[in-house]
Chain A
Amino acid sequence: MGEPDSTAGKIQDKPCPERPLGRLLRQSYKKQTHVQLYLPIADIPVNIFLILAMGAAVGFVSGMFGIGGGFLMTPLLIFVGIAPAVAVASVASHIAASSFSGAISYWRRRAIDPVLALVLLSGGSLGTALGVWTFTLLRSLGQLDLMIAMSYVILLTTVGGLMFWEGLRALLRARRGGPVTTRRPGSHVWIHGLPLKMRFKRSKIYLSIIPVVVIGLVIGFIGAVMGIGGGFILVPLLIYVLRVPTSTVIGTSMVLTLVTMVFATMLHAVTNHLVDAVLALILMVGGVTGAQFGARAGQKIRGEHLRLLLGLLVLAVGVRFAVELVIRPEDLFTIRETGGGG
């Protein structure tokens, strides 16, 4: 019985099956055992400062671009070694916190259209319920991890590619000295010919509630399945498809994100018992703090640069998932507990 910590070394020096980041996580808490925290639902010990730093980093990015940041947070947690299902469910509450603090400040500035938000929400709630139901179904079929990865690849590469392209074109236009107009397609598309029209006073628009409900539904659905707020898809949709003015678009989208994510947290907690409150709290604290600094940094960067950067970021996460799917995994076998037993 040599030095006092020989036991701990013996246990942890076993080869770790996790990905490199997971290994890093483990090594870091090996050195500083006092900062590690055991996550009750994820069932693994993590370095509290690492998770806090991740929350702050994602918060910074989300504050900078005015998005929820779920599409970054969920993958990061997965890469660190937290089960995708737990990551998706816990990030929902993290996004709820950050969008709530955002929504409050937008509300003070009267930059929220309450009527539009309500109509979006009617679709959003239904979409979230459908999403959580699908999530449960896929989980029982053993294909949840694959579906999460696949939807990330498809959604992020498409949206990221489009944003990047848009940003690049705007930048080139600016270079050539042309007017930097944010394109708002003026053509009256079929969407504006739909029935059930309604006037949204604060946004000063008059349009059918059908596309509004459908957009809410889609965002709610993908939010619940993928663990993202969906702000980065919702905002362009509201601007380009519904032609919501920029004055109310971010605030209103935050209200939708807030309510769907609170709803998703509840449903994930009730049906799948996968929400890790301890993990969520650390992420929230890091996230809301980082967001404040991000927002300040964001104001110093030009709009088209910002969009270009965001596009690149979204694209990069999508490509990262694609690579993971295409290359031969390190291990072809996986184990999962299916309950039962005693």
Chain B
Amino acid sequence: MTARLLILAVLALGAVLAAPPAQAERLIVSVSNHRVTVTPNYSGEELVLFGSVEKDATTPPGRNYDLVVTVAGPRADMVTRRKERRFGIWINTDSRQFLKVPTYLALFSNRPFDAIASPEVQRRQQLGLNNVLLTQRVGPDYADVVPDDAFRSAFVRLRKQHGLYREETSAVTFLTPTLFRTGIPLPAEVPIGTYSVEIKLFADGALVAKTDSAFEIVKVGFEQFVATTARQNGFVYGLVTAFMALMTGWMASIVFRKD
């Protein structure tokens, strides 16, 4: 009896805790490929994310949904440097360090973020590249700065140019009012690692449901072998490379021997 009461209490508590984003909707998603392999002739790929919004009895009828998909690649520390003219030549002077920022970041939605939610919600839910948290080392502190900070905007702009950061507010399409799809383009120089996919469902400017998915990008075959050996067995790798150089030189001297 007590046990049953306890379970009921826990369930009730769970319901209360989960209630605010109203459990009326549930998101079911799937990525077309959970394991992308980078082979020697890899030149970029596009994954497809499919999903549907599952309603239940408590769902208010006639709701219009908005969807925001955030894809974040493996995190790394990066330095952004600014060149300045000193003594007539352009050299790196000032720099800013970004800590554990995603190497790949894509934000897709079905319509502009301003139309989906209020600026306050956009900030809290990190909607859009301007609102995503990019931690910088500012002196002794760790903080993000205003979106129009010179280093932050340069960082985002450069990543965008490489196709590694992207923001597309029309990429998510609703095939039916509850069935949606979006493409996740991966450029040729895509970083290797685990990618997290976060799908957020909004209705009337508020977050109503959220789910996660993931996929990984791996180098396979010879590629992977060379890259790991170079990193882990530098000495052997160097020896083999040097030996390969000598062999090539020796072969050439035999093939092209004149005397």
* Contact surface of A with B, Cβ cutoff 8 Å: 7-8, 10-12, 14-17, 29-30, 33-34, 36-38, 40-41, 43-45, 93-94, 96-105, 108, 142-143, 145-146, 150, 261-262, 265-271, 273, 275, 277-278, 280-281, 284-285, 288-289, 291-292, 325-329, 331-342
Contact = CB atoms under 8 A, between A and B. Distances in A.
Given A12-B43, A38-B38, A40-B226, A333 B79 contact: no
A105 B245 contact: no
List of 5 A-B pairs having minimum Cβ-Cβ separation, nearest first: A269-B238, A100-B249, A288-B252, A341-B76, A333-B154
B123 interface: no
Given A10-B46, A16-B161, A337-B77, A329 B242 contact: no
Contacts of B244: 93, 97, 277, 280-281, 284
Contacts of B12: none
Contacts of A45: 41-43, 188-189
Contact of A36 (B43, B163, B227): B43
- Most central of A7, A261, A271 by chain B CB within 10 Å: A7
Given A43-B189, A273-B234, A335-B78, A265 B245 contact: yes
B211 interface: no
Nearest to B257: A105
12 contacts: A40-B224, A96-B249, A100-B246, A103-B249, A105-B257, A143-B91, A150-B89, A269-B230, A273-B234, A280-B244, A284-B245, A332-B84
Given A7-B46, A262-B245, A14 B161 contact: yes
B188 to A, nearest CB: 5
Nearest to A96: B245
Main secondary structure of the interface of B (DSSP, over half): mixed
B110 interface: no
Nearest to A277: B241
B91 to A, nearest CB: 5
Interface residues of B, number: 75
B74 interface: yes
Nearest to B235: A270
A43 B159 CA distance: 16
Nearest to A12: B44
B240 interface: yes
A97 B78 contact: no
Given A38-B38, A100-B245, A269-B234, A338 B90 contact: no
B237 A334 contact: no
A44 B88 CA distance: 32
Interface stretch (B1-9, B92-100, B114-122, B199-207): B92-100
A11 B188 contact: yes
Given A45-B42, A269-B230, A97 B249 contact: yes
A145 B90 CA distance: 11
A267 B234 CA distance: 9
B158 interface: yes
A156 B160 CA distance: 36
Interface string B27-62: 000000000001111111110000000000000000
